[in-house]
Structure 1
């Protein structure tokens, strides 16, 4: 019983600590754990960016294309630049002719949080968010510059709205004797964009350029970030050698980011809750990956690839892919190996991925994500029924002997040694394992934690309704009905369990529903729905097993 008391106190204390810490962060105060709190945008405006283009390395070093060869943060758009809006059925993209940069991306199928009439803005160049996609060419001889994301380009294609299955958008720019043609091919119903760079040597001497693919983002949290649960926002690099590697903005700023620098495969990405932007360079060609801070609170992730020698009058072509959109695991996996890992389940991925596949299969049958959560929880409870039954039988036996435990406590008073010896003797006589109610539950914990992360990370929950008042499973219950149900079911579960002999322990058990229920007021409705269904099924299982044991005891007593 001392072990159970210690475990309960640890859970209760940790829950209170987390609740207080999250409340502090929610009110803009420092975290108790030293993590940076979400802040309003403090990044310098584009006007404060460094416009200077650093010196370019000599031709032999161009193959590795160090960061000194790539211009710094984007310069303010001059009057001659123009913003070009391109629209498909799922994307509205804004390109700036200065560098042919992608400076805004609106996801038309995903409403903004709390604004159903407006699309989610993933990329933007504004006072509140600096998040853009850029490309360019480096490796020019000293004193010259090839076309970069700070070089004027011009739109040469005509179509600006998708009418068929594909939409081709083309920009041209020339500098330092190299003409660069950027071709973006967008597809109906898709968030992946084919990007082709054609490099033509229009000068009189051979050139050895390198192409960089870059994502630039400030270090601020997304606008809809919750203070009560953590999701990752930062850069990710993937390779066959080192697999999935995450780097926070803080790691990059402190130059502590751990990622593969040289590779011939993989991708780079910026990841946030539900959405991602990723560059997938040509596979099988050596490139350099870099994550760096380009100015205060502005970071860049880039892949730099040597194109090779291009003789006068000759040209070279580099094909790559760009993803701008939701974390659609199936579509991302089809685009590049490992790209679906931006939906990060951590060390529980081996359990979480099969759960997600099961959930998507159930949804294909039921057609509603709320009922999918209900069905998935029922299936998981059915699989673990033997373990749960063993746990509930143990707790039912403990409840039967609770009066005898109380009598022992009154008999021995404060003599803990004699009390424990008497309790252990009673357990041996009655063939009760005092930890029998806990151990089967421990086996299930990794599965339930995995399901928690699946529901929290799945973009499919975003904007998905369930019934009546629940119109979006990814946001909190607007009327707090589900959290109230969860607290009520937790209280009922406690009543079904044996009353702890220690009065303080009993009080802790009664307070826990308030603590956990209070936290659930701020969690997505889909997660709270899962806990409610899980609690209701647990109550039904425990009640039926307890009743069966009582009937068996009554029959034995009447013989």
Structure 2
């Protein structure tokens, strides 16, 4: 490899490092990532992005008849209904073996969700709470009805409990504006999916066409990783999916600025709030025409994402039902795929999905064999290393030959001094004589970079890694090593690899390589233990492979020492 090529590669690596650091700073300061997927999608309906539809009937198949849904924003407090807004409500509990819900009789709002199989932190003392109606930091699930010119049951209305339901069912009912709404929550054992059935009864003398809305309302604070925010960033905020526009993330910042862009209507898909490892989502019936909205709460209580749909016309004394699924739980891809199409995409691997998905499923398979995520990572590394054995062997042979001729390259540099043209000509002649490809040691290594990045996102985004121990002091593979033992071991392996590789003839290039080794060693202090474990095993296997190849070359007459 001639000096110009080496210099180009070094500066390219250095430049990419600066770009990634700058990207990390952008994400830390709340600005869009340079590499993340586009969050703005094509709008499928006229109207300002980030606001509810101008009228619930716009773009829907329901005709405009007497009693159609009003154009009011869902959930805006109405001064004409003081009883609904002053009612404090009673908090009821609905639980199974994995989920404990707190539901308020004021509006039937799900205002707290405790995940019984996931702990809040590494102390493993308290359960993780996803939804919580804390003052100033609300995160709740709300739904209700809208009807033009009428006050009907909403998420602000006073509900009463319907007695005589099974232990896994909670039914609440409210009557207002000539409509009776019965809200029934059903929670099956072992499930994070809550089935909500809304039964609307028409007590009027004329038919009505009410609309139903459901949304998630959350404060705008992001989930922080502390000092690791500079190196570890995951999306927190609203997200949705439609078959037409696929997965769409909607940053809080875009909503606040009135620049949010997303699908506006459809008859499929879902809406959600996502954060690192966890998700809540409303999944309306597939085939039902609905409008989507993502906006700031009209009462200034956070941000919302939801859907709004007209129900069929309800005759006097008649009734209609609307069923939807409210998911509250971990980002378990196997579970999410069963709930709704595309819901597993909340674990977002971006452009690396084509590599990351197979890697994730392979990791799951290995965990099923060994029962430990640390050993699964180790054997996954062995498999990946085996796949890349021959390309890496080619690279190591090329580097070995480069190491063999390094003294001659140094002599050429001393001979020609500053005459770059003659130096490059002499080096190219040397490469030709020794049958060395200057890029032979670089290209095979470059093709492994996407694999490394994909595994980074798999380990970062997999909730299975959260609080997953390996052995001894490594109690959580998703967080940095508390004793920094793994990063130190990694630094040693990086130094060993550096010594095995040929020394660049240019002293400046050698210094840059040494500095980069130190920079990467420091960066890995803050990386998840699982990723550091992968890199250690990869380096150890690389050193072993490189040593073996050097030994074989020595038998062929090469002097590698």
Q: What is the aligned counterpart of 1:11 among 5, 10, 13?
A: 13
Residue 506 of structure 1, CA deviation: 0.6
Give the Cα–Cα distance (whole angstroms) in 2 for the partners of residues 204 and 439 of structure 1: 77
Instruction: Give 3-state SS (helix, strand or coil) of 1:344's partner.
Output: coil
Q: Which runs of 5+ in 1 are unaligned?
A: 36-53
Query: Partner residue of 1:449?
Result: 453
Answer yes or no: is 1:486 the counterpart of 2:490: yes
- After superposition, what is the alpha-carbon deviation per residue over 1:72-113, rounded to whole angstroms, capped at 9, x for unaligned? 389997464111222221111111211111111111111112
Answer yes or no: is 1:403 the counterpart of 2:373: no
Answer yes or no: is 1:90 the counterpart of 2:98: yes
Q: Which runs of 5+ in 2 are unaligned?
A: 35-52, 58-62
Give the Cα–Cα distance (whole angstroms) in 1 for the partners of residues 515 and 372 of structure 2: 35
| 1:82-481 → structure 2 map (5 Å cutoff) | 82-127=90-135, 129-138=137-146, 140-142=147-149, 144-157=150-163, 167-224=168-225, 226-227=228-229, 228-294=231-297, 298-481=302-485
The alpha-carbon distance between structure 1 residues 440 and 555, as it changes in their structure 2 partners (threshold 3 A), is closer
Q: Which has the higher contact order (CA 8 A, sep 6+)?
A: 2
- After superposition, what is the alpha-carbon deviation per residue over 1:486-533, rounded to whole angstroms, capped at 9, x for unaligned? 111111111111001111111111122221121121121111111111
Instruction: Give 3-state SS (helix, strand or coil) of 1:60's partner.
Output: coil
- After superposition, what is the alpha-carbon deviation per residue over 1:311-367, rounded to whole angstroms, capped at 9, x for unaligned? 110000111111100011111111111111111111111111111111111111111
CA contact (8 A) 1:15 1:515 kept: no
CA contact (8 A) 1:64 1:304 kept: no
The alpha-carbon distance between structure 1 residues 418 and 31, as it changes in their structure 2 partners (threshold 3 A), is farther
Instruction: Give 3-state SS (helix, strand or coil) of 1:257's partner.
Output: coil
- After superposition, what is the alpha-carbon deviation per residue over 1:151-210, rounded to whole angstroms, capped at 9, x for unaligned? 1112224679x6xxxx11111112111111111111111111111111111222221101
Moved over 6 A (4+): 23-26, 31-35, 54-59, 61-64, 73-77
- After superposition, what is the alpha-carbon deviation per residue over 1:525-551, rounded to whole angstroms, capped at 9, x for unaligned? 111111111111111111111221122
Instruction: Give 3-state SS (helix, strand or coil) of 2:457's partner.
Output: helix
Query: Partner residue of 1:42?
Result: none
CA contact (8 A) 2:23 2:33 kept: no
CA contact (8 A) 2:136 2:219 kept: no
Instruction: Give 3-state SS (helix, strand or coil) of 2:555's partner.
Output: helix
RMSD: 2.8
Provide the TM-score with structure 1 as the length reference: 0.88
The alpha-carbon distance between structure 1 residues 24 and 136, as it changes in their structure 2 partners (threshold 3 A), is closer
Instruction: Give 3-state SS (helix, strand or coil) of 1:290's partner.
Output: strand
CA contact (8 A) 1:244 1:338 kept: yes
Answer yes or no: is 1:509 the counterpart of 2:513: yes
Residue 252 of structure 1, CA deviation: 2.0
Residue 33 of structure 1, CA deviation: 8.5
Residue 442 of structure 1, CA deviation: 2.1
CA contact (8 A) 2:271 2:306 kept: yes
Give the Cα–Cα distance (whole angstroms) in 1 for the partners of residues 518 and 484 of structure 2: 14
The alpha-carbon distance between structure 1 residues 329 and 57, as it changes in their structure 2 partners (threshold 3 A), is closer
CA contact (8 A) 1:210 1:304 kept: yes
The alpha-carbon distance between structure 1 residues 55 and 181, as it changes in their structure 2 partners (threshold 3 A), is farther
The alpha-carbon distance between structure 1 residues 294 and 309, as it changes in their structure 2 partners (threshold 3 A), is same
Give the Cα–Cα distance (whole angstroms) in 1 for the partners of residues 550 and 133 of structure 2: 61
Residue 445 of structure 1, CA deviation: 2.0
Query: Partner residue of 2:37?
Result: none
